[in-house]
Amino acid sequence: GSPRRVAHAALLVALFAYGIWASLSVDLRLTQAAWFLGTQLVLLMKVHSFMAVTAELPQHTPTLRHLIYFLCAPTLVYAPSYPRTPNVRLYYVTEKVLAAVCTFTAMHVVCDTFIVPVLARSTTLPAHDAVLELLLPMTLMWILLFYLLFDVVLSLLAELTRFADRNFYGQWWNSTCFAAEFARTWNLPVSNWLRVHVYDEAQQRRRLGRGASMFVTFLLSAVVHEYFMVMLFRVVRPYLFAMQLSQLALWWLFERLALRGTRAGNLIFWAGMITGIPLLTTLYCREAEIEATLRADPHLAVGDGGHSGD
């Protein structure tokens, strides 16, 4: 009913507002802020799914046990029950904990040795030089981060909660199009949430067509990603937002050029991944450093607009 929808919306707004307030009030390091923001977004998606699904299942009466299990399970879409494994395998838990420690250590070494020194010079180093120096380190960091989150952390959570579905990602490395393939396969928990709570609802409740529903889903994803970057770097520069939306045009172009499913399409995908990640990192770090400098001494903005050429 209407009161339930109002309570639903009010709770989501309160959680979202608290996340913004806490993020801006506490001076967190970049990795700490990323972890906090990621947790906030996961909690928002889980709360929305729990309330939306239970509202559609009047015969199901959720208990506190249902909610606690759902909050701990490695899924973002609520269901009254999930397939469960018979027990928790101690050797598997040990393996994943050791993998997490080793992967995090490797990420720390790569970041401190090859990434931080370059980003520290981001405002004085020409952008193309910074991108070139970060090509291999950022690609390696992305692969390590992906492995840590999707093959280690989520698998560990699944084992501890006896969650049987371990399908957290598809073969995104074989993608030949960002929007049509990579966006749908690299993060299946989020993709499933977007399909159930945005795409399907846009079609069923809002009576939108397939194309419009897909655009709304893609737009929401781009907005949320940009929100993450804004809160992380404390600057409003919609580079990631523009890059994500441009993938829709590239999708159409890849279809016209018949590049979908081809080796050439996969090579173009990897070229975009290898250059796009360090480019975005460089752009956001440069802007964040410039903004921090201007906040410390506003007089620097007078006469040069706060920016200097490469």
Which is catalytic among the residues 48, 197, 225, 299? 225
Q: Burial letters for 36-67: b for 16+ Cβ neighbours within 10 Å, e otherwise?
A: bbeebbeebbbbbbbbbbbeeeeeeeeeeebe
| 183 in Cβ contact with 198 (< 8 Å) | no
- Residues in the chain, total: 310
Residue whose C-alpha is closest to residue 151's, from 136, 132, 134, 170: 170
| 262 SS3 class | coil
* Alpha-carbon torsion (242, 243, 249, 252), positive or negative: negative
CA–CA gap between residue 217 and residue 202 (Å, rounded): 9
CA–CA gap between residue 258 and residue 271 (Å, rounded): 18
120: tokens are: 């520290």
> In the chain, what are the helix, strand and coil shares in percent, each to the nearest 5?
75, 0, 25
Catalytic residue flag (residue 60):
no
Enzyme catalytic residues = 225
